[in-house]
Structure 1
Amino acid sequence: MATPNRSRTRFSLLAAPAGSPLPLPFLYPLFFVAVYLAHWNLLQLPYYWDEAGYYIPAALDFFHTGSLIPTTTLTNAHPPLPSLLLAGWWRLCGGISVGATRTLVCMIAAFALVGVFRLARGLAGPIIAGVVTLLTAIYPVWFAQSTLAHADIFAAAFTLWALSFYLVQPTLVRPAPHRFAWTAVFFSLAALAKETAIVTPAALALWEIVQLFIAGPEELADRPGRPVYRRIHLFWIAALAAPVLPLALWYAYHFHRTGFVFGNPEFLRYNATANLGSARILLSLWHRVVHVTFHMNMYVPVVLTLALLATAKPINLIPRSLRRPAFPAILVIVLGNLVAFSILGGALLTRYLLPVFPLVLLLCVSVWTARMRAWAWLAGLTAATFLTALWVNPPYTFAPEDNLTYRDMVILHERAINLIEKRFPAATVLTAWPATSELTRPELGYAHKSFRVTPLENFTAEEIQKAAADPGSYDTMLIFSSKWTPPPGALNLSRGHEATDMRYFDFHRDVSPEEAAAMLHGDIVWQAQSKGEWVAVLRFPRSVEARLFVPFANK
């Protein structure tokens, strides 16, 4: 019998696993169209939060000047790959526009979902892969990030593709050489998209080192008397360590150009050195566990899975498709990210965990299919709760970018700034970030011209009192909700830990427009709210001293 010729697919990036009927190149256009149409009413929204504060200004600087180091916003040493991709796409589109930016992010999100499908199909088959991919796509945190030009969706896409090469074929058999190479390439691209993406390959490299020392030579032999398991582990360690090199070269270049390795000192303090207390790390770890098991209705698939596992015999707890080596490796990835992001990052943003959510869903769906014949009902229930969480906010404080609440915030800011432009075109505006950037940078999509701005740190009573001591520096105020909190009288699960959140996580309470007007002796000329987000414009009829403000972000 002739040996099948596999030379055409062996080194193909999009080759399907054996027995799979549908090559991945056919899936990508379908995924992109689905993502694009699902986000249709979000594609023209002005830039939001860290988009406006860093990522878009950095990409614009590269587009206009070719500089990898941002010049119109403070550099925080984020790697430049998102800026390169955005600037290149703008060139192909013939110009800069919000729509072009959001289209590129949809393309990246679709690419990430193909990676999720490839990973899940290789481990658990096409049916489970389809369900996991759909649940990932509609999970509120993922859905919201699928049009936002944050570095996290870029890093997540490359990370998931790297995992599809690392996890699908067991590490204790002889993998094809291209698996090592593509794993190293995709993890390197992930690290160049966002530096914290190095966490996943680092965790897996440590796991390979552990296996190197605990595995016995009898577990695998290339031929009798010739063990090869050590060489395989060493190859994987080398592939997983490879992303350190391009990231180190970037930091060396950044230090050469700026004198700082990890960004400006304030950025480094906020995101790393100020976070090393044991109490803060433990609290952060608790929040991170909540993020991957409870947040935005993730508790539904997790609780269903735990209920099914409670009825299983200990020997059958792990689905056959996810047994060694995939299951322990997935646990290492999840735990590694939870611990790392309990230390790194001043803000507990859930988007940092984007690559983890598909893995949690893969574990859940694999258990359902192994323990219950009517598992499709569990998938349908999970999908319904995820879709609900896109519009219905949870009973605790969260970042608007975790579901479609960010859209309400953007639209309210757009309306407020449009009113200021029409009624007070010469205003000097007292406000806080990110509105400081929205008012001073027309390219962000809010204002048609740059306004003079007097910046506040936030809208706490202390900051308002400081502004009251210098009334000649502004004649208008734009005040808004900086985070979503349950309304007074409603169930608020986060109320009990507000004190620790204020101490460790920069939580604060915004004063209301009425309180600000009373403290600053002004009048509310316009206000609006939408699903818990609110914004107001205050006016102070007096002359002001013009001041220059340079916007920046530190996340």
Structure 2
Amino acid sequence: MPLWTLYPLLFVGVYISHLTLLRLPYFWDEAGYYIPAALDLFRTGSLIPQTTLTNAHPPLPSLLLAGWWHLAGYAVWNTRVFICMVSAAALLGAFRLARELAGPVTGAVVVLLTALYPVWFAQSTLAHADIFAAAFTLWALSVYFEHRERPRYLLAAVLFSLAALAKETAIVTPGALALWELVQIVSSQPRKPVILSEAKDPRILPGAAQNFEAGAKADPTENKQQRNTGVLHSVQDDEHSSAGWRWIATLLAPILPLAFWYAYHFHKTGFIFGNPEFLRYNATANLGPLRILLSLWHRAVHLTLHMNLFVPAACAAAVLLMPRLAGRTLSKQVVTTLAVILLGNGIAFSILGGALLTRYLLPMYPLVLLLCVVVWRERFAQWWVLAGLTTVGFLAALWINPPYVFSPEDNLSYRDMIVVHQQAAAVLTKQFPLATVLTAWPATQELARPELGYVRQPFKVAPIENFSAGEIERAAQDPGGYDTALVFSTKCVPAPGMMNLARMNEGADTRFFDFHRDLPPKGVAAILHGDVVWQATRGCESAAILRFPRAVDAELRMP
């Protein structure tokens, strides 16, 4: 089948599997940054966000969203459908890459497993920049690995540049590949032709020339064949080196458009990499060696174990003990290159980013699954059993939460969070429409911006960082600044008494990764002297509304 004919099938598959999620209001970073930034561009034409803090993320997601809204109209459902289209394009890129390296059967299995992997499944309707970057990165990699007599350097440069303009951290992948190309050029030992005319060349060992002469006298035909072979090796080495330098230039090309964007951002805002707090949280505060080592551990877990990814990884490790079957397999060069990409991203995202979100690694999951499927097929005749087992594991992880702390956006817990926030917003709208609400991000955005889909009229909000004891005690010092509170769970934490594999790491996670324990609603009510008037729990997500009766002195004066 022509490649383009697969796209409608992939889109229909993504659309139908996410049908119940398409009308959900915006979630987390969607509500906090990406949708407000795109709306500012849609309404004013400004590449720099006006109604939310600019953090120097490149503007391509906003441009694509705003363009789509001009065609289809602004609505949450339209946005979700567009992200389904982007996810389908990313899956098509993953299929093209896997088909190029291991054949169409492997490509089909990799696409199916990628689409069902909980982290990918959840991101397939969320308007985060990561799904855009993943789509362009996977297509760029499919061009980089394709078997062609003349590599398409320009196309690869454009696709990698678009990935970087979707999210700046996408430049890690071409950067790792460029470094790998350079290592191969430097470490390669060119094979020089051993011919009589080069016997005086100091680069040719005398012994080699003497051996060649002896061989020439013994067998002139063999002498000619060796000379021709030597010349061929020399030409191949030169071509390989030349191609390597071309690829390095291609892979470094995305630096240029990204530099132009940062120059424009500096011209408009005075900041290169966003506001100082954003830069501190995502980069400069993360350079301690202990934090980097802990982050490397977390990233290793994300790429091998998280959300039942251990199922395909363990199956691959097990069948490695079996003898190899006859059939197609990946070359050592390809496996090493894929490992370089995975390692480069794992290291980079152990330094960059204040939060260790798994969606930063979104384009890496198809590569991990590709390696697993290839190992299954080359060593186990009933490999389809392992594919079925992995499918069951991924489907289970969509609904069954792991026994440790994780972000709700890693599986369908994000839907539970949105639903309880919708319910809380409905209660506030009906019972306390004039309230000033004490709450934390992202609910501050949800209540203040009707276009996000939670309220029809904006509420006044009193923002706090989170619902830890310290923040609540600070809020208690200004009781007149609010009369209502919306308290909710900010992360999925195993319930008390349940198995929690991350309990021993809480100290380090609190120090380095912004982990905190939220007070329960009754605890918040006790400190702030209020009453819990509504509460709901759905899965690992919960929300509650607190009301604070205040004594107020009032006086009516004639005008």
TM over 0.5: yes
Matching residue of 2:198? none
In 2, the alpha carbon distance for the partners of 1:34 and 1:494 equals 35
1:85 aligns with 2:58: no
Q: How does 1:440-479 map to 2 (within 5 A)?
A: 440-479=448-487
SS at 1:528's partner residue?
Answer: strand
Amino acid at match of 1:158: F
Cα contact 2:191–2:233 (8 A) shared by 1: no
Contact 1:475 1:543 in 2 (8 A): no
The answer to whether 1:57 aligns with 2:36 is yes
2:302 maps to 1:291: yes
Question: Given the alignment of the two structures, is residue 260 of structure 1 paired with residue 271 of structure 2, yes or no?
Answer: yes
User: In structure 2, which of residues 512, 525, 529 is the aligned counterpart of residue 517 of structure 1?
Assistant: 525
Selected match of 2:390 from 382, 390, 401? 382
Counterpart of 2:292 (choices 258, 277, 281) is 281
Name the SS for the 2:457 alignment partner: coil
Letter in 2 for 1:127: V
2:143 maps to what in 1? 165
User: What does 1:57-76 correspond to in 2, within 5 Å?
Assistant: 57-76=36-55
Describe the shift of the 1:156–1:544 C-alpha distance in structure 2 as closer, same or farther (beyond 3 A): farther
Q: How far is 1:318 from its partner?
A: 13
Distance 1:254 1:332 in 2: 32
Q: Determine the C-alpha separation between the residues in 2 that align with 1:515 and 1:417.
A: 21
The unaligned stretches of length 5 or more in structure 1 are 1-21, 546-555
Report the equivalent of 1:176.
150
Query: d(CA) in 2 for partners of 1:221 and 1:334?
Result: 37
SS at match of 2:320: helix
TM-score, structure 2 as length reference = 0.90
Q: For residues 216 and 164 of structure 1, what CA distance do their matches in structure 2 show?
A: 28
Separation in 1, partners of 2:103, 2:191? 30
Q: Distance in 1 between matches of 2:230 and 2:545?
A: 73
Q: How far does the alpha carbon of each residue in 1:101-139 deviate from its partner, in whole angstroms, 9 at most, with x for none?
A: 101100000000000000000110111110010000000
Amino acid at match of 1:188: S
Higher radius of gyration, 1 or 2: 2
In 1, are the aligned partners of 2:326 and 2:378 still within 8 Å (CA)?
no
Q: Which amino acid aligns with 1:381?
A: L
Q: Distance in 1 between matches of 2:299 and 2:107?
A: 25
TM-score (normalised: structure 1): 0.91
Alpha-carbon separation, structure 2, partners of 1:392 and 1:408:
13
Alpha-carbon offset, residue 310 of structure 1: 3.0
The whole-number CA distance in structure 1 between the counterparts of 2:326 and 2:250 is 28
- RMSD of aligned alpha carbons: 1.7
Deviation string 1:26-78 (CA, Å, 9 cap, x unpaired) is: 00000001001100000000000000000000000000110000010000000
Q: 1: distance between equivalents of 2:428 and 2:14?
A: 35
Other-structure match for 2:222: none
More helix by share: 2
Q: Secondary structure at the match of 1:431?
A: strand
One-letter identity of the residue aligned with 1:260: F
Gaps of 5+ in 2: 193-228, 554-559
Q: Is the 8 A contact 1:217 1:229 kept in 2?
A: no
Displacement of 1:225: 4.5
Deviation (angstroms), 1:319: 8.8
Conservation of the 8 A alpha-carbon contact between 2:190 and 2:234 = no
Percent identity between the aligned chains? 64
Counterpart among 503, 507, 511 of residue 499 in structure 1:
507
Equivalent residue number for residue 188 of structure 2: 215
Report the AA paired with residue 76 of structure 1. Answer: N
Q: Would you say the 8 A contact 2:439–2:487 is kept in 1?
A: yes
Q: Which residue of 1 aligns with 2:358?
A: 350
2:78: which partner in 1?
Answer: 100
Letter in 1 for 2:27: Y
Offset of residue 541 of structure 1: 2.0
Do the aligned partners of 1:427 and 1:475 also contact (CA within 8 Å) in 2?
yes
1:189 alignment partner in structure 2: 162
| Structure 1 position 508 matched with structure 2 position 516 | yes
Letter in 2 for 1:532: C
* Paired residues of 1:473 and 1:544 also in contact (CA < 8 A): no
Matched, 1:205 2:178: yes
Q: Which residue of structure 2 lines up, in the alignment, with residue 394 of structure 1? A: 402
How far apart, in 2, do the equivalents of 1:325 and 1:469 lie?
A: 63
What secondary structure, in the 3-state scheme, does the structure 1 residue paired with 2:143 have? helix
